[in-house]
A and B are shown apart, each in its own frame.
Chain A
Amino acid sequence: MPYTSLLKISVNHSKGHPLRKLLLLLGIAIGVAVVVAVDLANESIGRSFQLSTRSITGRSTHQVIHSDNRLDQNFYTRLRTELGIRRSAPVITGYIRIDRLEGRTIRMLGIDPFADAGFRNYLGQASGTPNLETLTSLLTASNRVLISKKLAAEINIRTGDSLGINTAFGEQKVIVAGLMESDNSFTEQALSGIMLTDIATAQEILKMGDHISHVDLMLDVESTDLMNRIKETLPPGAQLVSSNARSNAVRQMSRSFELNLTALSLLALLVGMFLIYNTVTFSIVQRRIQLGTLRALGVTRSEVFVMILVETLFWGIIGSTIGILLGIVLGTGTVRLVSQTVSDLYFTLTVNQFHISIGKLIKAFLMGIGASLLSGALPALEAANIEPVQTLRRSSLERRLAVQMPVLGIVGSLFIIAGVVLLSVPTRSLRVSFGGLLLIVFGNALLVPLLIRVVMKFISAIVSLFKGVTCQMASRNIIRSMSRTSVSIASLMIAISVIVGVGTMIGSFRITVVQWLSNTIRADLYIGSANRLGRELDGDLQVELKKFEGVAKVIAIRSRQVKSGPYTGATLISLDEDTAERKWIWYEGNKAGLKEKFDQGWVFISEPMSWKYQIKGGPGTTIALDTDLGRKEFRLAGIFRDFTSDQGAVMIAGPHYKRYWGDRYVFGMSVFLEKGVDPERIGRDIERRFQDRYQLMIRSNRGLRNAAIEVFDRTFTITVALQILAGLVAFIGVLNTVMSLILERSREIGVLRANGMTVSQLGRMLMMESGLIGLLAGLFSIPLGTIMAWILVHIINKRSFGWTLDFVLQPDSYLQAILIALVSAVLAGIYPMISISRKQVAALLRTE
Chain B
Amino acid sequence: MEIILTDIDKSFEEGGQSAPILMNLNARFPTNSFSVILGKSGSGKSTLLNLISGIDVPDQGNIRIGNRDIGTMSDYQRTLFRRRHIGFIFQFFNLIPTLTVLENVMLINELEGSASEINRRRAVEILQQVGLGDRLQAKPDNLSGGEQQRTAIARALAHDPEIILADEPTGNLDQDTGTVILNILIDLIRKKGKTLIMATHSHEILKSADLIFGIQEGRLVKSEGE
Contacts and interface: CB of A to CB of B under 8 A. Distances in A.
B67 to A, nearest CB: 20
Contacts of A759: 75-76, 79
A472 B103 contact: yes
B112 interface: yes
A660 B12 CA distance: 95
Contact of B94 (A477, A747, A840): A747
A756 B55 CA distance: 10
A755 B56 contact: no
B57 to A, nearest CB: 9
Nearest to A469: B110
Contacts, number: 75
A476 B104 CA distance: 13
Given A467-B116, A758-B80, A840-B56, A748 B94 contact: yes
Nearest to A747: B94
A757 B155 CA distance: 14
B75 A469 contact: no
A266 interface: no
B98 A757 contact: no
Contacts of A473: 96, 98-99
B103 A751 contact: no
A477 B55 contact: no
Interface stretch (B83-91, B171-179, B190-198, B216-224): B83-91
Contact of A480 (B98, B103, B155): B98
A476 B90 CA distance: 23
A450 interface: no
A753 B56 CA distance: 11
A751 B111 contact: no
A402 interface: no
A476 B139 CA distance: 12
A545 interface: no
B50 interface: yes
A618 interface: no
Contacts of B103: 469, 472
A469 B80 contact: no
B111 A754 contact: no
B53 interface: yes
A470 to B, nearest CB: 8
A473 B47 CA distance: 28
A619 B9 CA distance: 101
A751 B94 contact: yes
A754 B50 CA distance: 9
B82 interface: yes
A841 interface: yes
Interface string A451-495: 000000000000000011110110011001000000000000000
A756 B83 contact: yes
Interface string B103-138: 100111011100010000000000000000000000
Given A756-B111, A841-B55, A751 B96 contact: yes
Given A469-B99, A480-B98, A748-B94, A755 B55 contact: no
Interface size class of A (residues with CB under 8 A): 20 to 34
A476 B106 CA distance: 16
Contacts of A543: none
B112 A756 contact: yes
B82 A755 contact: yes
A71 B155 CA distance: 97
A756 B108 CA distance: 7
Contact of A472 (B97, B99, B108): B99
A841 B76 contact: no
Contacts of A397: none
A842 interface: yes
A466 to B, nearest CB: 11
Nearest to B78: A841
Nearest to A751: B94
A477 B82 contact: no
A720 B97 CA distance: 43
A842 B52 CA distance: 12
Given A841-B56, A845-B55, A757 B94 contact: no
A468 B110 contact: yes
A480 B139 CA distance: 12
A490 to B, nearest CB: 22
Contacts of A747: 94
A752 interface: yes
Contact of B80 (A468, A472, A751, A756): A756
Contacts of A748: 94, 96-97
Interface string A728-763: 000000000000000000011001111111110100
A753 B94 CA distance: 12
Interface in B24-41: none
Nearest to A844: B55
A755 B98 contact: no
Contact of B82 (A756, A761, A840): A756
B86 to A, nearest CB: 8
A761 B110 CA distance: 11
Contacts of B88: 754-755
A469 B103 CA distance: 8
A98 to B, nearest CB: 67
Contact of A755 (B50, B75, B108, B116): B108
A172 B171 CA distance: 97
Nearest to B75: A759
A715 B79 CA distance: 57
B20 to A, nearest CB: 16
Contacts of A756: 79-80, 82-84, 108, 111-112
Contact of A757 (B56, B97, B111): B111
B63 to A, nearest CB: 14
Interface string A586-602: 00000000000000000
Given A467-B116, A755-B83, A477 B111 contact: no
Contacts of B47: 842
B134 to A, nearest CB: 22
Contacts of A395: 141
A758 B79 contact: yes
Contacts of A755: 82-83, 88, 107-108, 111, 155
Contact of A842 (B56, B79, B106, B112): B56
A610 B169 CA distance: 82
Nearest to A838: B75
Contacts of A477: 98
Nearest to B90: A751
Nearest to B167: A845
A477 B97 CA distance: 9
Max chain A C-beta neighbours (<10 A), residue from B84, B96, B108, B141? B96
Interface string A764-782: 0000000000000000000
A753 B99 contact: no
Contacts of A752: 96, 107
A843 to B, nearest CB: 9
A757 B47 CA distance: 20
30 contacts: A468-B110, A469-B103, A469-B111, A472-B98, A476-B98, A477-B98, A748-B94, A748-B97, A751-B90, A751-B96, A752-B107, A754-B55, A755-B83, A755-B107, A755-B108, A755-B155, A756-B79, A756-B80, A756-B82, A756-B83, A756-B111, A757-B79, A758-B76, A758-B79, A759-B75, A759-B79, A840-B56, A841-B55, A842-B56, A845-B50
Q: Which 8 A-B pairs have the closest CB atoms?
A: A756-B83, A476-B98, A469-B110, A842-B56, A751-B94, A841-B55, A842-B50, A842-B55
Interface of B: 47, 50, 53, 55-56, 75-76, 79-80, 82-84, 88, 90, 94, 96-99, 103, 106-108, 110-112, 116, 141, 155
Given A395-B141, A754-B53, A757-B79, 20 more contacts: A467-B116, A468-B110, A469-B99, A469-B103, A469-B110, A472-B98, A473-B98, A476-B98, A480-B97, A480-B98, A748-B96, A751-B90, A751-B96, A756-B83, A756-B112, A757-B83, A759-B75, A840-B55, A842-B47, A845-B50
Interface of A: 395, 467-470, 472-473, 476-477, 480, 747-748, 751-759, 761, 840-842, 845
